[in-house]
A and B are shown apart, each in its own frame.
Chain A
């Protein structure tokens, strides 16, 4: 049955055992639909341990319009392995498609075939994936591409972008492999168009959408974009120790940085990694490291040194489930406190949090400028979801510009008696790199005077602490304030979110606005220091102010409450998957105050919800 409205996109999940080629098929799909002009988000999941065991899923959502989240539910399940795919059927939306191999080499035992779980409302399509693969390539490995052909033929997406994507994807392989894969795709396509009786509603009419973009689209993961941001910013020294989900940054830079004249060191641990980077930063080189929560915990002492000695360095933290080694392949935003406040002493340093892949580039790029301009370590908070999800991006250079420009204050030689830590209005002292003639100075983790010499004098400590905090205030004043997005005037709901959760919050807001609620959001990218004015302004307009994030109880919500001076609704949860738009919308709408209620009651609603672990989204998860 066909519905009248043409679909604008779909969510596809390709599921198999690790090694079945599901991730590769997903990459082909991403490339192909990006070529067609769709906006894409891909977020794969694979077993926590080293690949090669268990289930893995390539998840792609493509849409005519900007995609903010991987989407709730699934429109098409491609089953490359039946046993693993069965549990996936629970996510399928009404009207979804299931593509499976109806000619497996062995008969499935009862309830071991995904086809047996295709229930009314879903559309199952059997395709002899292995047989067609063997026909195309003499082996069954290409069945993932047969499945892509079947999918494309079934939902009528143009075939040529897929063929190009396959040739691109397997560009480094022999022509025989490359063309065999294209043949496999073609056989799947033909099977779908000639043999399958189409019953579902997905019909793209072989047409590509018209999408306006700045520049050429490419597909990048958050980690790749962050690595690119490092390179574009002129990074010359990268030291890292592998850790999921940040390893890819090291991998990309290990390949590319030496070609750009830089150095990559894989160190023996995270302490050493950040020590390398701080050393290089001190020496005047743009330097960085990337890690995840467990690594960041180890780096705290060196971060403090960089704060105290005022050394520019960039630290990317791709958050994962914690504490400790926690959940390496699960996403979470629970390192905010560690990033912003985790330290001995008063140790202020900026924390940036990109919302999407393009911003992983932009904010990493900006982090170097901010680090140099404010002579400070800068943390960039990614998370598993953001690091690994893939989006189509274009116009990266333009995107970074909207976060302002920050110039360095360099010291000029010759004055004598160089005061490396001179007290200034904005706290930033003209900086000289070590070894500059006439500007020699000590650098230490001990409290110091303006010239850098250790000082345990109380009033000096106060002045120097003030200076370090003044830099943060100066940054907060110069960083472009986040604009409220959404409705104007009085609001039923004000929403604050940060990092990768901004996407789901944005989609949830749209859904609520469509339901007639007055909703607006403020989504800071500079999450510490906090730019207070926009939060207060939003709060003043909002009956209920909610903070959406992925941690236990609301780490950023504490910060927002401090600023706005009232209780906020905490839509905070942890759990395996990224928080979804529908889930947020439900939590928000559930807590929405009916017109006529007093503001005090609103606060209480939030409070009660929090206390009871009900409403407020808190009941979801773990």
Chain B
């Protein structure tokens, strides 16, 4: 196994995919290693996107490593190339620009996408999400004209984003969605503390209400709430957490549920295919159940585990122990989320 005839393909240029590629290259110097991602931007820090929007940092600050890192390691980056479908029988990936790509072993690190509650699907086009650098660029380019932002949700990203926007002098209305406090698990007291912290910075915090529809009026948005109230703002942001981005795998033969189902060694239901990072739903033999994680550090760890197993190890992926995180001065419990510089 391994060597010149081997072609490891990794779908996803996030932290999981890059860690996997690094481990595969180190463990198998002769093999071909290819990373495919539909994003055109080389590996970057997602947590800095809020600062990119406000102008606090430039794009040059986002990159995790220089391009020479990949070329030095002979890892081929296929960026801006979307995987449309996979023929696992023929070990062939079909790229959206209509190129076939063969692999011998495949690691799926397709990550996550913003969750938009079903009730808001009709308004989807008028909601702003922030997952990719493209999302952030689009918002940055009009941020000068933005005075008032409504943030609906309450995930980790939303709290930090609200703080950044307030610092940038924007009016922020924060609409708390109870279910969206994820992956942190604040109790009622901590939720109140978080709300108080946001208020103290100048945000209007609305609790016990929900968005039912968003309508565009010119460049502005009118957000209708369950209570009957409407909020007129320049940006209506949806921050309801992240969910595995696996639609392209539907019908491929891979076992899927919320994410790509993998055993504790991150093997999928298909021979020669592993999954890691935000997209994976990992079996825990002790709990006899599967877990999904969203978080940088955990994705990185899973990427490494998957790669080591691809190389022939039998490493078990264990869920991280519960830890705490300071969020806006409030200490909250979290399993996956880590503080990034």
Q: Which residues of A are interface residues toward B (Cβ below 8 A)?
A: 1, 100, 102-104, 106-113, 115-116, 118-121, 123-124, 126, 197, 199
Q: Which of A100, A108, A112, A119 is close to B77, meaning CB atoms less than 8 Å apart? A: A119
Question: A120 touching B97 by the CB < 8 A rule?
Answer: no
Select from chain B the residue with minimum beta-carbon distance to A114: B97
Determine chain B's interface SS by DSSP, over half rule. mixed
Which residues of chain B are near A112, meaning CB under 8 Å? 99
Question: A115 touching B40 by the CB < 8 A rule?
Answer: no
Q: Is B78 an interface residue (CB 8 A)?
A: yes
Q: Which of B67, B94, B97, B100 is close to A126, meaning CB atoms less than 8 Å apart? A: B97
Residue pairs across A and B with Cβ atoms less than 8 A apart, 12 shown, are A100-B97, A106-B98, A109-B99, A110-B102, A115-B97, A116-B81, A116-B97, A116-B99, A116-B101, A118-B80, A120-B67, A126-B97
Which residues of chain A are near B100, meaning CB under 8 Å? 107-110
Q: Is B96 an interface residue (CB 8 A)?
A: yes
Cβ-closest 4 pairs across A and B: A113-B99, A115-B97, A108-B99, A102-B97
Minimal beta-carbon separation of A128 from chain B (angstroms): 10
* Contact A120 B40, CB 8 Å, known A1-B137, A115-B81: yes
Which residues of chain B are near A106, meaning CB under 8 Å? 98
* Contact A113 B79, CB 8 Å, known A120-B40, A120-B67: no
| A197–B41 CA distance with the chains assembled, in angstroms | 14
Select from chain B the residue with minimum beta-carbon distance to A2: B141
Select from chain B the residue with minimum beta-carbon distance to A98: B80
- Over the window 97-126 of chain B, the binary record of Cβ atoms lying under 8 Å from chain A Cβ atoms (1 yes, 0 no) is 111111000000000000000000000000
Q: Is B30 an interface residue (CB 8 A)?
A: no
Q: Is B156 an interface residue (CB 8 A)?
A: no
Q: Is B241 an interface residue (CB 8 A)?
A: no
Q: Is B59 an interface residue (CB 8 A)?
A: yes
Select from chain A the residue with minimum beta-carbon distance to B140: A1
Minimal beta-carbon separation of B94 from chain A (angstroms): 7
Select from chain A the residue with minimum beta-carbon distance to B79: A120
Which residues of chain A are near B59, meaning CB under 8 Å? 1
Which residues of chain B are near A104, meaning CB under 8 Å? 98
Q: Which residues of B are interface residues toward A (Cβ below 8 A)?
A: 40-42, 59, 67, 77-81, 94-102, 134, 137
* Contact A124 B80, CB 8 Å, known A1-B59, A1-B137, A199-B40: yes
20 more contacts with CB within 8 A, not counting A1-B59, A120-B40, are A100-B97, A102-B98, A106-B98, A107-B94, A107-B99, A109-B100, A110-B100, A110-B101, A110-B102, A113-B98, A113-B99, A115-B95, A116-B95, A116-B97, A118-B79, A118-B81, A119-B77, A119-B79, A120-B42, A120-B77
Which residues of chain B are near A120, meaning CB under 8 Å? 40-42, 67, 77, 79
Q: How many A-B residue pairs have CB under 8 A?
A: 59
Which residues of chain A are near B95, meaning CB under 8 Å? 113, 115-116
| A47–B291 CA distance with the chains assembled, in angstroms | 60
Minimal beta-carbon separation of B205 from chain A (angstroms): 34
Interface centre among B77, B95, B102, B134 (most CB of A within 10 A): B95
| A184–B97 CA distance with the chains assembled, in angstroms | 21
Select from chain B the residue with minimum beta-carbon distance to A108: B99
| A103–B97 CA distance with the chains assembled, in angstroms | 7
Minimal beta-carbon separation of B73 from chain A (angstroms): 15
Select from chain B the residue with minimum beta-carbon distance to A118: B80
* Contact A110 B67, CB 8 Å, known A116-B78, A199-B40: no
Select from chain A the residue with minimum beta-carbon distance to B103: A110
Select from chain A the residue with minimum beta-carbon distance to B100: A107
| A102–B81 CA distance with the chains assembled, in angstroms | 11
| A187–B77 CA distance with the chains assembled, in angstroms | 32
| A120–B59 CA distance with the chains assembled, in angstroms | 14
Which residues of chain A are near B97, meaning CB under 8 Å? 100, 102, 113, 115-116, 124, 126
Which residues of chain B are near A113, meaning CB under 8 Å? 95, 97-99
Which residues of chain B are near A197, meaning CB under 8 Å? 134
Question: B80 touching A110 by the CB < 8 A rule?
Answer: no
Question: A102 touching B96 by the CB < 8 A rule?
Answer: yes
Minimal beta-carbon separation of A450 from chain B (angstroms): 76
Select from chain A the residue with minimum beta-carbon distance to B138: A197
Which residues of chain A are near B94, meaning CB under 8 Å? 107
Question: B98 touching A108 by the CB < 8 A rule?
Answer: yes
Question: B98 touching A107 by the CB < 8 A rule?
Answer: yes
| A118–B40 CA distance with the chains assembled, in angstroms | 9
| A124–B97 CA distance with the chains assembled, in angstroms | 10
Select from chain A the residue with minimum beta-carbon distance to B134: A197
Select from chain B the residue with minimum beta-carbon distance to A199: B40
Which residues of chain A are near B134, meaning CB under 8 Å? 197
Select from chain B the residue with minimum beta-carbon distance to A123: B40
Which residues of chain B are near A110, meaning CB under 8 Å? 99-102
Which residues of chain A are near B81, meaning CB under 8 Å? 115-116, 118
| A531–B98 CA distance with the chains assembled, in angstroms | 61
Minimal beta-carbon separation of A111 from chain B (angstroms): 8
Which residues of chain A are near B41, meaning CB under 8 Å? 120
Minimal beta-carbon separation of A38 from chain B (angstroms): 28
Which residues of chain B are near A100, meaning CB under 8 Å? 97
Interface centre among B40, B98, B102, B134 (most CB of A within 10 A): B98
| A1–B134 CA distance with the chains assembled, in angstroms | 10
| A1–B102 CA distance with the chains assembled, in angstroms | 33
Which residues of chain A are near B67, meaning CB under 8 Å? 120-121
Select from chain A the residue with minimum beta-carbon distance to B101: A110
Interface centre among A103, A104, A110 (most CB of B within 10 A): A110
Which residues of chain A are near B80, meaning CB under 8 Å? 115, 118, 124
Minimal beta-carbon separation of A119 from chain B (angstroms): 7
Select from chain B the residue with minimum beta-carbon distance to A82: B99
Select from chain A the residue with minimum beta-carbon distance to B97: A115
Which residues of chain B are near A116, meaning CB under 8 Å? 78, 81, 95, 97, 99, 101
Which residues of chain B are near A118, meaning CB under 8 Å? 79-81
Which residues of chain A are near B40, meaning CB under 8 Å? 120, 123-124, 199
Minimal beta-carbon separation of B311 from chain A (angstroms): 23
Select from chain A the residue with minimum beta-carbon distance to B141: A2
| A224–B137 CA distance with the chains assembled, in angstroms | 49
Which residues of chain B are near A119, meaning CB under 8 Å? 77, 79
| A112–B94 CA distance with the chains assembled, in angstroms | 13
| A124–B41 CA distance with the chains assembled, in angstroms | 12
| A341–B59 CA distance with the chains assembled, in angstroms | 61
Which residues of chain B are near A121, meaning CB under 8 Å? 67
* Contact A103 B98, CB 8 Å, known A116-B78, A119-B79: yes
Minimal beta-carbon separation of A112 from chain B (angstroms): 7
| A1–B59 CA distance with the chains assembled, in angstroms | 9
| A118–B78 CA distance with the chains assembled, in angstroms | 8
Which residues of chain B are near A115, meaning CB under 8 Å? 80-81, 95, 97, 99
| A106–B42 CA distance with the chains assembled, in angstroms | 29
